[in-house]
A and B are shown apart, each in its own frame.
Chain A
Amino acid sequence: MQIYYILTYLSGEKQKIVDVQFEECIEEIVIKENERYKLSTFNLIDSVNSILQTLFSNDVLLRKWGNTPFTDFRKEVLEILYLEHILPQIPDIFSADKEIYKEWIFSISKDILKRIQIKHRDVLTIDKDLDPNPDTIAFKASHTYLAEILDWNKYQQSQIILPELLERKINETCLQKYPIGIHKFIDLLKKDDRDLWKTTSHVIYKIAGLVIKYYCFNKNNSDDLRSDTWIKSNEKIYNLIISGEAPDFESGLHLRNYIAKINLNNLRNIQKKEHLINNTNVTISDFAEIHVEDRDSTDYNDLSFFDIDINNEQEVKFGLINILYNKPKGVYDTLAKGIEDKLDMLIQHSEGESYREIAIKKYGVYCSPEKLKKDEDNIRQGVSRAKKTIIFRFYELLKKQLKYE
């Protein structure tokens, strides 16, 4: 069907007229809706393609096409999508497994918090003191906290709610309850909030690294010392907070210095046992200055790369796309070491070039068809191996982060 809709928009002072195809427009609206609310991930739709085919021949949409502004047309597409294809089956899916429903809400909330955090990047929060970068405490999507502030039952009872409206409700609540302050943070740690403890362990590990860096003369065994110190400190701090024996922290800075002190004491015990020499000139206040340097390097735009659930294949895939597309400094270099050329070809392929075109570009067009076929196969295999390698390395990197748990 070749129906075109002429959209106009202003770019500077010039008005442009662009043709947009009916099918293309509907496809983008549905695909994006699926990406935003993870509809197929949570089995709320079976197949995007089959739904698209139905929508392409929908009479209402065909009638509206060409004489409705884009926002209204989009609204119409989504209404038909939800009323005819999604909402009728939602009660069955969610009543069969309430955990899936909660995970769906959690997943939407995680994106909402990411957006709130980006908007509040200049607001002073507990993150400025504790420096969990690249993770966050102030805007952490914590299962415990979200279960506390969101009314799951109310949402579940009103299932004829569109995700867009649901998102608005969650957004309103999160704006009121976030960022998390020091008292709420400690309160959640006392409740053994696993998501926040994971980040706290990461903070303890980072501070242990600073303590080792500035307190040890001998740098040869610093990795082992850091690990030993962190393991002991992590356990100690966990026990002290859970049992309520930790002091009432007045600020994030107070907690950070407490962690530094415990790390320092543990390190000194280890050093004494192993007869190592330390740098007694370094004090806890030095760690404060170091933290200031660290904080300034925060890049909130790379947030989607962290806080990835290693058991969630979609999140892992998403993290990998981020790495391949944005090539974040340091991380990309580590993961792509030795396979940079193959990954470049992978990117070229994703841009629409076939393996044959890549082979011609690389080896020239003047070779025999047999040689070209061989080169094409070599490139295909090389790219496939590089893909496997980067997936493996990415999992290893995520596991390394998880060891802080």
Chain B
Amino acid sequence: MNKDCPYSKKDIWNYYSNALSQEEEVAMQEHILLCNTCKTKLKQLRELGRILDEENIETNHIEIERKNPIRKYLIIAASIAALILAVFLIIPTSEKTDYPIDEINGDSYSTGDSSKVDSLKIEMKLDTIY
């Protein structure tokens, strides 16, 4: 560790991840060329990228997914559940008890700050709905 180096691991990450402005980047670039500690850290980041490139990220992910047989059975189970649910939904309900979802007029919710005052009103409203 170079004790004279003013930059941290985070600074190197910011350089690598394009989080610096153009001016900051140029200054950092010059420093990196001069500082072995920072150079090593940056090299590690790029090496990580190269190691990950060895795997075809997208294909690898799909392959693992294909190897997972449980997923197949879960899809079948979900389809059956959806079918049963659909049958129940077709049967009409005699009682309509839904709250009007978009009933947001009046003082039942706060439109800004002063939450303390609004909170009392909300409580009353909720009780009356029930």
When the two chains form the complex, which single residue of A12, A24, A70, A266 contacts B101, counting CB atoms closer than 8 Å?
A266
Give, as a whole number of angstroms, the nearest-CB distance from B31 to chain A.
7
A71 contacts B26, C-beta separation under 8 Å = yes
Residue of B nearest to A117 (CB): B19
A286 contacts B30, C-beta separation under 8 Å = no
- Range of interface residues on A (Cβ < 8 Å): 35 or more
A12 to B21, CA, bound (A): 24
Which stretch in A95-103, A120-128, A144-152, A249-257 binds the other chain? Answer: A249-257
When the two chains form the complex, which single residue of B51, B100, B113 contacts A253, counting CB atoms closer than 8 Å?
B113
Bitwise interface map of A from 22 to 39 toward B, beta carbon under 8 Å scored 1, else 0: 001100110110011000
Question: Cβ of B46: which chain A residues have Cβ within 8 Å of it?
Answer: 31
**Chain B interface, number of residues (Cβ within 8 angstroms):** 65
A280 to B119, CA, bound (A): 12
Cβ-based interface call for B78 (8 A): no
Cβ-based interface call for A83 (8 A): no
Give, as a whole number of angstroms, the nearest-CB distance from B28 to chain A.
9
Given A7-B30, A262-B104 in contact, is the A350-B109 Cβ separation under 8 Å? no
Give the contacts of A13-56 with B (CB-CB under 8 A). Answer: 14, 16, 18, 20, 24-25, 28-29, 31-32, 35-36
Bitwise interface map of B from 32 to 47 toward A, beta carbon under 8 Å scored 1, else 0: 1110000010011111
Give the contacts of B87-130 with A (CB-CB under 8 A). Answer: 97-104, 108-113, 115-116, 118-119, 122-123, 126-127, 129-130
B60 contacts A114, C-beta separation under 8 Å = no
Question: Cβ of B47: which chain A residues have Cβ within 8 Å of it?
Answer: 350-352
B57 contacts A391, C-beta separation under 8 Å = yes
B19 contacts A304, C-beta separation under 8 Å = yes
Give the contacts of B65-100 with A (CB-CB under 8 A). Answer: 65, 97-100
A74 contacts B55, C-beta separation under 8 Å = no
Give, as a whole number of angstroms, the nearest-CB distance from A250 to chain B.
6
Bitwise interface map of B from 1 to 40 toward A, beta carbon under 8 Å scored 1, else 0: 0001010011001111111111001100111111000001
Cβ-based interface call for A374 (8 A): no
Give, as a whole number of angstroms, the nearest-CB distance from A95 to chain B.
27
A32 contacts B25, C-beta separation under 8 Å = yes
Give, as a whole number of angstroms, the nearest-CB distance from B98 to chain A.
5
A75 to B45, CA, bound (A): 25
A313 contacts B119, C-beta separation under 8 Å = no
Give the contacts of A70-97 with B (CB-CB under 8 A). Answer: 70-71, 74
Residue of B nearest to A317 (CB): B52
A313 to B59, CA, bound (A): 10
B64 contacts A284, C-beta separation under 8 Å = no
Which stretch in A202-210, A320-328, A361-369 binds the other chain? Answer: A320-328
Give, as a whole number of angstroms, the nearest-CB distance from A329 to chain B.
14
Question: Cβ of B65: which chain A residues have Cβ within 8 Å of it?
Answer: 392
A168 to B23, CA, bound (A): 11
A280 contacts B126, C-beta separation under 8 Å = yes
Residue of B nearest to A235 (CB): B101
Question: Cβ of A32: which chain B residues have Cβ within 8 Å of it?
Answer: 15, 25, 29
Residue of B nearest to A289 (CB): B115
Given A36-B18, A265-B103, A280-B123 in contact, is the A250-B112 Cβ separation under 8 Å? yes
Given A167-B22, A280-B130 in contact, is the A324-B109 Cβ separation under 8 Å? no
A-binding residues in B (CB < 8 A): 4, 6, 9-10, 13-22, 25-26, 29-34, 40, 43-49, 51-55, 57-58, 60-61, 64-65, 97-104, 108-113, 115-116, 118-119, 122-123, 126-127, 129-130
User: Closest 10 CB pairs between A and B?
Assistant: A285-B119, A285-B115, A261-B109, A283-B119, A350-B47, A254-B111, A392-B64, A18-B34, A257-B110, A283-B122
